[in-house]
Structure 1
Amino acid sequence: MEYTHLSEFRIRGGELTIWTPELTTPDAWHDDERPLASVHEQYLGFLDPADTRPGRGRWIGTIFEMDAPLDPAAWATTLRLWHDRHEGFRTTVAPTGDGGYHRVTTEPGTVDVVGAVVADLTDGEQINEFLCDTLELRLSALVWPHLLVATVAHETDDFTVLVGADHSVLDAYSQAVLILELRTLYTAVTTGGEIRDSATFGSPADYAVRERAAAEELTPDSPAVGVWREFLGTPGSPMPRFAADHVAVLDGEHAQPSVSRTLLDIDQLEQVEAALNGLKHRLSVAVFAALAVASRETFGENRFRTVMPIATRPDLTWLESMGWFVNVVPVDITLPADADMPVALDATRASLKRAHLCNDASWGRSLAMVGAMEGPTYGASFLDIRMLPDYELVADLRGRTLRAVSYSTEEVYFWVVRGPEGLYVSTRHPAGLPGEVMERFLAEFAAAMYSVTRAPVAGAAIADPAAALSAG
């Protein structure tokens, strides 16, 4: 599943409708004593309440094509039931008066979803531009609703669905699984089928209680804090940056370039996976080892440091929840001199094992304890989408997860996905970084990944890596 910008998705023409959640009664909100999750509270601290485009650079979402005709009444019912099911869509924040925020919530049955047709706008490209603008203008972490839905009804028996949300109510896992959830719910509504209930739709607010309690237990002597201390170095040291010496300072504001491509096709990837099986390493380890090798080959750095977002759904209670269940852990890999990929794999596995100490430790609180003066600016993640239910159907529905255009002058992120057609990479980087630098890094990344096939694997004939990569 590609992780890309909305502008890179071709929307077919049709009738556009914006679906907006509304309270059935204006006094439905009530104060909620449950805390905000640490990452949510940190996020709010960076926001400007006067920002006229609060969604700019911040919203995330999902787009796909529903394989059924649009029945507006049934779709409105589907979205209402979806909001009833997920408390994360029915909670927001209110100012405390001291510069902070507290949680307010409304009960199931108090949210309706109203559709408004956008007249005289049927061209797919114009719809795309309109939606990009609308999501920047209307999505905010400070103003409910934090989620909007758009549909485009086509002349064929299907319709496009866009779900856009502020990051405070969706994470990457939510982005992926909502496609089949909405499809299943819509099918049940239109056919009179059973609306499934489940103990796995747990509330993000209940999770926040658990997360904040764990955060309060952290001390400067906690093992997780020690890992962050080693990662950062001297208190006040800057966070690791990608290609810091190659980024030019530009005047004005510039959108970050985005690069998305297949890194290894399925034939190349299956050879890599066969070799990794012989070496007894996981593909996730190989991805970070290859990033470290590519960093050495491109920038001459034997020490590779980045942060890795991880899912923090602690048990089945939150398996199907919509919300922001994410922590960040440090990945710190030092490669021995002239290390090849098998050696890099061993070093990386040890580093990732050490990073596990931080899985349940609030990264914001940990960084505060080690004297960090800023948050992470360089991150990488890996996802095998085959772990998602019915992932092949998601591809048939043209499912894509979306991110807003970023304007950061420092941030670099890599999203690496193992999909049914190969290994896919998406990245964004500052406009001041020359494109050829990123191109070289991605080429070294691909070469490092494929180089594991040089290791002998019993019963497997491995093709020449250089020839295979050049052919790909």
Structure 2
Amino acid sequence: MRQFPLQMHHMEPGRLVEWRLRAAAGAQGPDRGDEEGKKASFNQDKHFTVAEESRADDDPMASYVAVTFEIDEALDEPALAGALLRFVRRHEVLRCAFRRLAGELSCEPLAPEVLSLEAHHVAEFDDVERQREFLAERFTRSIDTLAWPLFTMGAVLRPDSATVYLAFDHIVCDGMSMPVVVHDVLTCYEALRRGEEPVLPPAPSYLDFADAQRRRYLSIGADDERLGYWRSFTERGGEFFPRFPLELGVEPDRMYPIVNEASTLLDAAETEVFEKVCGQAGGKPFMGLLGSVGVCLREAGGPGVYRGFMPVSERGREDWNNSVGWFVNTLPIEFDASPGKDFAQVMGEVRAGFGEMMRHLDVPFVRAWQLLAPEEFAGRSWPYPVNFFSYIDMRRCPGAERHDEWRPATHVWSARSNGTCSWFQRDADGLHMNSLYVDTPAARRTMGDFQEALRLTVQSVARTGGFRRPVALTAPRRPEPAVARVRRS
């Protein structure tokens, strides 16, 4: 399972059916007695606030997180409808409407039993490209942060197969939720096809996680000792947000259309060797990859000390692995990647930096941002291009043992940006990269050269056990059929 633009997905055309949620007239949330509505997480509150402000200024900030997967048989439409309804009823965050109450963002879920689904025929295609563009536009227009439901569900039906799709607003999910979606829906679908009642592992509600987080950290101040790691990081760098160190050609206070680009860095065999080399150096594959990123940025003119943001899943702190929600904290990390260090030395620096970072996982990023950079917190986006690295090993996700059969994929899209974000995924086929960045001539040159340098660097680690010297960003790039660039305005 990997992440790439929807426009890269070769989805055979067919008949498009969507299942739309309906709530019974006068439906209320579950009876909580005198309990107030649960509080949204800090991530959700910031995301919702940006949507409110953008709508007020007629300047919407559109985005989605989507997943697709395959069913290699004639689709049993009632069984899929039953699976989708069970999926929505199972995850409380998907049944939520969000409301402002005295400044606080409250989550008010509908009771599972008041929900039903209606099937709608929406289109039919015999052309791959026209269908792909239709779906991309539909995902964009059908999801609204300020309106329930916060996702869309459908399938492309063909005589002997189907592609199922679900697209979500980020406020209800994260990237690690996408394998959960696939596992839940297909497990239920297959059970219903057999005439059995589906059996799934417990999935605690994200609302409980979010509410507990908000109540715990809303009262802390900027001088709280738990913010010490953030304060020291900011003091060393001179600013709260670590800048992306290469030229992207952006102007201050301006947002740009994005390039959505994906490629494969290592195939399956090379990735296995890369992992062994990282292990011999005392680290894990993501550490070797992050160290390689740091060296490539430095060779391209960046600083010797890598400074960046790294999203970290909070699912493992309790039993949230089967839940849908936004279980992501973002933390700063820094390490020395200065000239003269070999792969093992850089790996040691990354390992030490990551260990220090993880000792401070508890404080929510958005709360730290609000307290330590209040002027920038008032903005609708990060203030300038920020250095960002994300890594997920998809082989460890729920249902991964059947990904070859289900062929799931994640698709992330955003209308505009002022910088760049890169996500890395490992799956059974190798190591992959998906980047969203501003569509400027400088950014296209910079990111193209950086991606090629990174590919050559991790290949060198896998083949020789160390960095190639030097990492030449001006070397001619060979054709890479696995790369696709998608630009949308």
Q: TM-score, normalised by structure 1?
A: 0.88
Mapped partners of 1:367, 1:251: distance in 2: 18
Alignment of structure 1 residues 311-330 onto 2, 5 Å: 311-315=313-317, 317-330=319-332
What amino acid does structure 2 have at the position aligned with 1:72?
Answer: E
Mapped partners of 2:98, 2:237: distance in 1: 33
Mapped partners of 2:436, 2:146: distance in 1: 26
- 5+ residue gaps, structure 1, are none
The answer for the alignment partner of 2:141 in structure 1 is 137
Mapped partners of 1:214, 1:274: distance in 2: 41
Out of 158, 164, 168, the position equivalent to 1:154 is 158
Partner SS for 1:401: strand
User: Deviation per CA, 1:119-172, whole angstroms, max 9, x where unpaired?
Assistant: 45454332322222222222122211011101111022x211010111111111
The answer for the alignment partner of 1:104 in structure 2 is 108
1:116 corresponds to 2:98? no
The answer for the alignment partner of 2:81 in structure 1 is 76
The answer for the alignment partner of 1:340 in structure 2 is 342
The answer for the alignment partner of 1:177 in structure 2 is 180
What amino acid does structure 2 have at the position aligned with 1:126?
Answer: R
The answer for the alignment partner of 1:261 in structure 2 is 263
Alignment of structure 1 residues 30-429 onto 2, 5 Å: 32-48=36-52, 50=55, 57-96=62-101, 100-156=104-160, 158-198=161-201, 200-216=202-218, 218-222=220-224, 224-233=226-235, 237=239, 239-243=241-245, 245-249=247-251, 254-315=256-317, 317-371=319-373, 373-374=375-376, 376=382, 377-410=386-419, 412-429=420-437
User: Deviation per CA, 1:9-43, whole angstroms, max 9, x where unpaired?
Assistant: 12211111121111023332478521111111111
Mapped partners of 2:330, 2:174: distance in 1: 13
Q: Is the 8 A contact 2:27 2:110 kept in 1?
A: no
Q: Is the 8 A contact 1:214 1:361 kept in 2?
A: no
What amino acid does structure 2 have at the position aligned with 1:404?
Answer: W
Q: Is the 8 A contact 2:70 2:162 kept in 1?
A: yes
Change (3 A) 1:32 1:148: farther
Q: Is the 8 A contact 2:85 2:116 kept in 1?
A: yes
Q: Is the 8 A contact 1:53 1:138 kept in 2?
A: no
What amino acid does structure 1 have at the position aligned with 2:117?
Answer: V
What amino acid does structure 2 have at the position aligned with 1:428?
Answer: L
Mapped partners of 1:431, 1:340: distance in 2: 34
The answer for the alignment partner of 2:458 in structure 1 is 449
What amino acid does structure 2 have at the position aligned with 1:95?
Answer: R
Q: Is the 8 A contact 1:223 1:357 kept in 2?
A: no
1:17 corresponds to 2:21? no
The answer for the alignment partner of 2:483 in structure 1 is none
Mapped partners of 2:222, 2:103: distance in 1: 27
What amino acid does structure 2 have at the position aligned with 1:125?
Answer: E
1:239 Cα deviation from its structure 2 partner: 2.1
Mapped partners of 1:136, 1:406: distance in 2: 9
Q: Is the 8 A contact 2:20 2:153 kept in 1?
A: yes
Mapped partners of 2:116, 2:374: distance in 1: 44
User: Deviation per CA, 1:80-115, whole angstroms, max 9, x where unpaired?
Assistant: 21122111111121233x565322121121111111
Change (3 A) 1:68 1:373: farther
Mapped partners of 1:416, 1:5: distance in 2: 14
What amino acid does structure 2 have at the position aligned with 1:148?
Answer: T
Mapped partners of 1:251, 1:305: distance in 2: 22
1:395 Cα deviation from its structure 2 partner: 3.5
1:372 Cα deviation from its structure 2 partner: 5.3
Mapped partners of 1:238, 1:219: distance in 2: 16
1:403 Cα deviation from its structure 2 partner: 0.7
What amino acid does structure 2 have at the position aligned with 1:132?
Answer: A
User: Deviation per CA, 1:303-347, whole angstroms, max 9, x where unpaired?
Assistant: 211111111125554221111111111112233442222211111
What amino acid does structure 2 have at the position aligned with 1:283?
Answer: P
Mapped partners of 1:374, 1:109: distance in 2: 43
Q: Is the 8 A contact 2:83 2:186 kept in 1?
A: no
The answer for the alignment partner of 2:486 in structure 1 is none
Give the fraction of aligned pairs with identical amino acids, expressed as a percent: 22
User: Deviation per CA, 1:350-383, whole angstroms, max 9, x where unpaired?
Assistant: 1111111332211111123323543654321111
Partner SS for 1:242: coil
Change (3 A) 1:418 1:456: closer
Q: Is the 8 A contact 2:37 2:107 kept in 1?
A: yes
Structure 1 range deviating more: 277-286 or 123-132: 123-132
Paired residues in the alignment total 462
Mapped partners of 1:45, 1:134: distance in 2: 24
Change (3 A) 1:53 1:391: farther
Mapped partners of 1:227, 1:449: distance in 2: 30
Change (3 A) 1:176 1:252: same
Q: Is the 8 A contact 2:240 2:372 kept in 1?
A: no
1:470 Cα deviation from its structure 2 partner: 8.2
Q: State the superposition RMSD in angstroms.
A: 3.2
Structure 1 range deviating more: 264-273 or 213-222: 213-222
